[in-house]
Chains A and B, each alone.
Chain A
Amino acid sequence: MTPSDDLRAKVLAAAASTPSPTRAAWRLRTAVLSGLAALGALGFFFGKGGTRRGDRSDAALVGTAVLWAIVAASVTWLGLKPARSMLGRSRATLLGVLVGTAPALAATALLVALAEGPAVDPRMHLACGVLTVAQGVLPLAALAVLRRGGDPLYPVVTGASLGVAAGAWSALMAHLRCSYVGVPHVLLAHVLPVLVLAGVGAVVGATLLRVRVRGS
C-alpha cells in the first residue's frame, strides 16, 4: 500500500513551485514580530506613566512584581513549544496553565499585599481592567501570528494558554502601573483580565492556530 507515483510527482512539483520560508527566514520573522510586540507593550506601559509606587510599600510593590514575573515567565515557558518538539506541551499541561495561573496571581498578590487600600471607585476597576486587557492584546497577537496554522492537536487550548501568558505579563505591568492596592481591585482589574485574554486566546486559537487543510 503506497501512494501513487503521480502523487509524489504532484507534491514535489507543488512544493518546488511555491517557495516556503526556510529556518533562517522564520527566525528573522520571529525576532522581528517578538521585538515589535515587546516594544509595543512596553511603549503602552511607559505611555501610561510607567511604574507608580503610590501608597504601596516597597515590599508589596516589589514582592508582588517578582512573584508575578515568576508566574508570567513560567506560564510563557509552558505555553510555548518546548525545544526539540513540533507539537507543544501535552493538553494536560496547558489545561494546568489555564486553571492555575489566575489563582496563582491572586494568591501571590494577596500574600504580599494583604493590606486593604482606600476604597476605589468601581469605575476604576473597569478602566484599569480594560487597560490590562489592551496591553496584552499585542503580545497575544504576535504569539498567534507566529504560530498561525501550526497546531494540529488542540488549537483552542493552545490559544487560551498563549492568552494566559500574554495576560500574566500584562497583569504584571498593570500591577506596576496601578497604585491601587485594594483586594477587589487587584482581583477584578489585574487578575480577571488574564482570564479575559485566555478567552480571547481561545477564540484566536480556534480561528488562527488550527492547521488548515485545504480541500483537494
Chain B
Amino acid sequence: MATADMWRLVARLRVTTALVSNERPRGETAALDDAMDRYARGDDAAFAIVYDGIAPRLYAFALRRTRDRERAEDVVQQTMLHIHRARGSFTTGAEALPWAYAIARRALIDQHRRGSREVLVSDDDAMAHDLVASLDAPADDVAAARELAARIQVELDKLPETQRVAFELIKQEGLSVREAAQALGTTVAAVKLRAHRAYEALRQALALPRRAP
C-alpha cells in the first residue's frame, strides 16, 4: 500500500492507534469539569455524568495497555472509585481528565506490579471485531488498517515508556499538551519533546514520509 494511502486509511478509519491528533472540543472538557465540580460540592447525581465523560476514555487507554477487557474494566472501576472517594479534594477550576488519567496510569502500573502478566493477544480478536464492526469500509481496507494498527502498536511498544505514554495521551487520547503534562507530572516542553520523539521513531520505523504541516 502506498504511504499516502496508509495515512489516509489511518485518518479515515480512526484505528485505535491512529497517528492523527484527536483533540477534544473545549466545551466537552468544560462540561466534565463542571460536573466534577458539582459532584465535589455534593451533587451526587453528577457522578453519572463524570463517569460517562471519563470511563470510556480510560477504558480505551487501559485496554490498549492490557489487551484484556477484564483488566481494563478493573482499572476503570478502581479509578472511578478513587475519584469518588477523593471528590472533596477536587479543587474549583481544576481539570478532571488529566487527574483521572494519572490515577489510571498508576492503577495500570500497580496492576502490572501485582504480578498479572500482560496478555498480549488474548483479546485481539474481540478488539478486531469491534474495529471491523465500527467501520463501513471495504474488507481490503479493513484488513490493511488492522495490519497497520498492529504494526503501529508493535512499534509503540518498543518505545521508552515516557515517550510512548506522552504520544498515547496526546495522539490517541486527545489530551492537549498541557493536560498530558499535568497527567504525567512534567512540563509542557518535556511532553512536546517526548511526543515528537515518539512520532519520529514511529515515522522512521514505519517508513512513512513527513506529514505536511
**Residues of A participating in the B interface, judged by any CB pair closer than 8 Å:** 1-4, 7-8, 10-12, 14-16, 18, 20-27, 81, 83-88, 90-92, 149-150, 152-154, 210-211, 213-216
Contacts and interface: CB of A to CB of B under 8 A. Distances in A.
Contacts of A83: 91, 93
B7 to A, nearest CB: 22
B73 A20 contact: no
B88 A84 contact: no
B77 A7 contact: yes
Interface stretch (B36-44, B152-160, B203-211): B36-44
B93 A84 contact: yes
Interface string B115-134: 00000000000010010000
Q: How extensive is the interface on chain B, given as a class?
A: 35 or more
Contact of B73 (A4, A22, A85): A4
Interface in B186-211: 186-187, 190
A91 B90 contact: no
Given A22-B42, A152-B106, A213-B111, A87 B185 contact: yes
Contact of B88 (A16, A25, A92, A149): A25
B47 interface: yes
A26 B91 CA distance: 11
A150 B107 contact: no
Contact of A213 (B89, B98, B110): B110
A1 B185 CA distance: 27
A115 B99 CA distance: 50
B87 interface: yes
A149 B86 contact: yes
Contact of A20 (B86, B181, B184): B86
B106 A84 contact: no
Contacts of B40: 22-23
A110 to B, nearest CB: 32
B74 interface: yes
Contacts of B94: 84-86
A214 B157 CA distance: 26
B41 A22 contact: yes
Contacts of B87: 20-23
Given A22-B41, A22-B42, A213-B106, A150 B86 contact: yes
A153 B91 contact: no
B185 A84 contact: no
Contacts of A21: 87-88
27 contacts: A1-B59, A1-B63, A3-B59, A3-B72, A7-B77, A11-B77, A11-B80, A11-B81, A14-B81, A15-B80, A16-B44, A20-B87, A23-B89, A24-B41, A25-B88, A81-B91, A83-B91, A84-B91, A85-B95, A86-B96, A86-B98, A90-B187, A91-B186, A152-B102, A153-B102, A214-B78, A216-B77
Given A92-B187, A149-B86, A211 B95 contact: no
Given A84-B93, A214-B78, 12 more contacts: A1-B56, A11-B81, A15-B80, A20-B87, A22-B88, A23-B89, A84-B94, A85-B95, A152-B105, A210-B106, A213-B103, A213-B106
B33 to A, nearest CB: 10
B182 interface: yes
B127 A1 contact: yes
A91 B208 CA distance: 34
B55 interface: yes
A211 B74 contact: no
A86 B81 contact: no
A118 to B, nearest CB: 48
A90 B186 CA distance: 5
Contacts of B55: 2-3, 7-8, 11
A100 B106 CA distance: 28
